[in-house]
Chain A
Amino acid sequence: MATYSTNEFKSGLKFILNGDPCSIITNEFVKPGKGQAFNRVKIRNLKTGKVVDKTFKSGESVEAADVVEKDLQYLYTDGEFWHFMDAETYEQVAADATAVSDAKYWLKDGDTVMVTLWNDVPLLVTPPNFVELTITQCDPGVRGDTAQGGTKPATTETGATIKVPLFIEEGEVLKIDTRTGEYVSRVKS
């Protein structure tokens, strides 16, 4: 079992804490001139996504986590699992609803997304920052009605509901920021 000592801590290092895989965001070495040294770290729990502050007594060691990030192609969902493929090796993995989470609203067949794997099991699916999706349903826009900030709800081909400007019509392809779920622009076809 591989371990890391606190003197190997750096951002991006992945290890197991209380049974969960996590990743170091920042690491700061603190030490009074005479006395105990500490590593103050900000850690992301890769299972829950939660960020916590921890202080390690320097010299402590932690168990390394076999966590890798891979760019995989999204294939399809069978309702229970979302299936991805490595475009080079053709190996496939299945991610459950927890791993996919809100990313499912941005997954379009054939798109490449980043999948975080822990012991080869998908832990987290991260969509690209921007995706291009077709609007499958939206109300007709009423010109001149800006009472609601000039937007109306629309549904994408992936099932996400987003706010779009009044002039958008069904069948149009839009660029969307997946981090905020906001409309960016029309995509010229």
Chain B
Amino acid sequence: MGIEVLQLRARILHDIRAFFYERKVLEVETPALSQAGNTDPAIESFQVRVPGEQIRYLHTSAEYPMKRLLAAGVGDIYQICKVWRAGELGRYHNPEFTMLEWYRLQFTYHQLMQEVEELLLSLLTNVQKISRFVSYRQLFLEVLDIDPHSADTAELHDCILRKNLDVVGKLDHSAMLDILMTHCIEPVFSEDCLTFVYDYPAKQKALACLSKDDVPVAQRFEVYLGKVELGNGYQEQTDAQLNADVLYADQRSRERAGLLEIPVDEHFLLAMQQGLPFCSGVAIGIDRLLLCLTGKKKLQEVISFPWTVA
């Protein structure tokens, strides 16, 4: 890797900080090693075991402690930090990576999408200035001619067969939607413009709010440049009980799937009871941003010492 990639990384970190300084969003730091981990069954935490010490978990994002700060009333905040996700290694993945995460009080997820676009367009010089905003449902209708919110497992299965996707392993409803998204829909995104996909299936809500429509959707969005996913944002669920329900349901899913048991973050749930203000939040992968800026082919080419040589 040439020094120009290091210089570019330093420059965009500086530009991000300048962007938020100007908007009076406070930079914060939160712990990387916690007593609780992420219970999401699709994300694996690294455990840190030291003799005589309680097991700790490396954070997979700064979401829980940042929301504790929001509940404590700090106002708009952002953080740039290293996060870790076990087993995620590939062209667009490195198990240790740099994440930018920020929260905006009184922002809807649509307002936050606008701010994400402003930031990304200020950083990505090689991108069309007009972005596409499209709902998850619209994409499935356009590309696959199915409604992702009403299609049952059999219909999704037929669609996978029709698209000649030869799958090894049993997929549940949500995983079927995921494979159609990654294999059929993402490849049609324009190479040189940002695509914002919003309103995800209710089952994929995580800690986002559900809409009050007849068929509720998760008030979530993802932003892509070409087919590279850069970030994921929510209109945050402020109801303490609903947050707790998601975490405990995830923990049960992990147990059913025979995955590592992860303690639920009770500090986070307690803070939710104090009250999370109305807000939206988003996390952006800095290494992927660099990948897009440099035009390199693999994430490993923009990280000074990637996983295999770390």
> Do the two chains bind?
yes
Chain B interface: which size bin? 20 to 34
Q: Is the CB of A28 within 8 A of B206?
A: no
Stretch at the interface among B2-10, B69-77, B84-92, B101-109: B84-92
Segment at the interface with A among B115-123, B171-179, B266-274: B171-179
Q: Which residue of A lies closest to B200 (CB)?
A: A34
Instruction: Encode A15-30 as 1/0 by CB contact (under 8 A) with B.
Output: 0010000000000111
Q: Given A54-B166, A55-B183, verify A37-B204 contact (CB < 8 Å).
A: no
How many residues of chain A have a CB within 8 Å of chain B? 24
Interfacial chain B residues near A58, Cβ < 8 Å: 87
A29 touches B167 (CB 8 A): no
Q: Is B170 an interface residue (CB 8 A)?
A: yes
Among candidates B88, B168, B231, B232, residue contacting A56 with C-beta atoms closer than 8 Å: B168
- B169/A56 in contact, CB under 8 A: yes
CB neighbors of B among A25-41 (8 A): 28-38, 40
Cβ-defined contact, A31 with B88, below 8 A: yes
Please state if B90 and A35 are interface contacts (CB–CB under 8 Å). no
- With a CB–CB cut-off of 8 A, which chain A residues contact B90? 28-31
B181 CB–A CB distance under 8 Å: yes
Enumerate chain A residues within 8 angstroms of B93, measured Cβ to Cβ.
29, 31
Taking CB atoms, residues of chain A closer than 8 Å to B168 are 17, 54-57, 60, 62
B309 to chain A, nearest CB (A): 16
Assuming the contacts A31-B93, A32-B182, A34-B40, asked whether A55 and B166 have C-beta atoms less than 8 A apart, the reply is yes
A52-B166 contact, Cβ under 8 Å, with A35-B204, A36-B42: yes
Say whether, besides A35-B204, A38-B179, A38-B182, A29 and B222 are in contact (CB < 8 Å). Answer: no
Contact A37 B89 (CB under 8 A): no
In the complex, A60→B175 CA distance in Å? 14
Give complex CA distance A17, B168 in Å.
10
A17, A28, A53, A57 — most chain B CB neighbours (10 Å): A57
Give B23-51 as 1s and 0s: 1 = Cβ < 8 Å from A's Cβ atoms.
00000000000000000101100000000
**A37 contacts which chain B residues (CB < 8 A)?**
42, 87-88
Q: Name B87's closest neighbour in chain A (CB-CB).
A: A7
The majority secondary structure among interface residues of chain A is: strand
Q: Are A57 and B42 in contact (CB under 8 A)?
A: no
CB < 8 Å neighbour of A57 from B169, B183, B206:
B169
Q: Which residues of B contact A28 (CB under 8 A)?
A: 90-91
Is B165 close to A, CB under 8 A? Answer: yes
Encode contact with A along B215-249: 1 for CB under 8 Å, 0 otherwise.
00000001000000101100000000000000000
A residues near B183, Cβ cutoff 8 Å: 30, 40, 55
A7 touches B42 (CB 8 A): no
Are A36 and B167 in touch, CB under 8 angstroms? no
Q: List A residues 70-128 near B (Cβ within 8 Å).
A: none
B116 CB to closest chain A CB (Å) equals 14
Q: For the complex of A and B, list the 10 residue pairs with the smallest distance between their C-beta atoms, beginning with the closest.
A: A29-B90, A57-B169, A36-B175, A35-B178, A60-B169, A33-B232, A36-B178, A56-B168, A30-B182, A54-B166
| Interface residues in chain A, defined as those with a beta carbon under 8 Å from any beta carbon in chain B | 7, 17, 28-38, 40, 52-60, 62
Provide a sorted-by-A list of 29 A–B residue pairs whose CB atoms are within 8 angstroms: A28-B91, A30-B92, A30-B182, A30-B183, A32-B181, A32-B182, A33-B222, A33-B229, A33-B231, A34-B42, A34-B206, A35-B42, A35-B204, A36-B179, A37-B87, A37-B88, A38-B178, A38-B182, A40-B183, A55-B168, A55-B179, A56-B167, A56-B168, A57-B167, A57-B168, A57-B170, A58-B87, A60-B169, A62-B168
Q: 17 other contacts beyond A35-B178, A55-B167, A58-B87, with CB at 8 A cut-off?
A: A7-B89, A30-B183, A32-B181, A32-B182, A33-B231, A34-B42, A35-B174, A35-B204, A36-B42, A36-B175, A38-B179, A40-B183, A54-B166, A57-B167, A57-B170, A60-B168, A62-B168
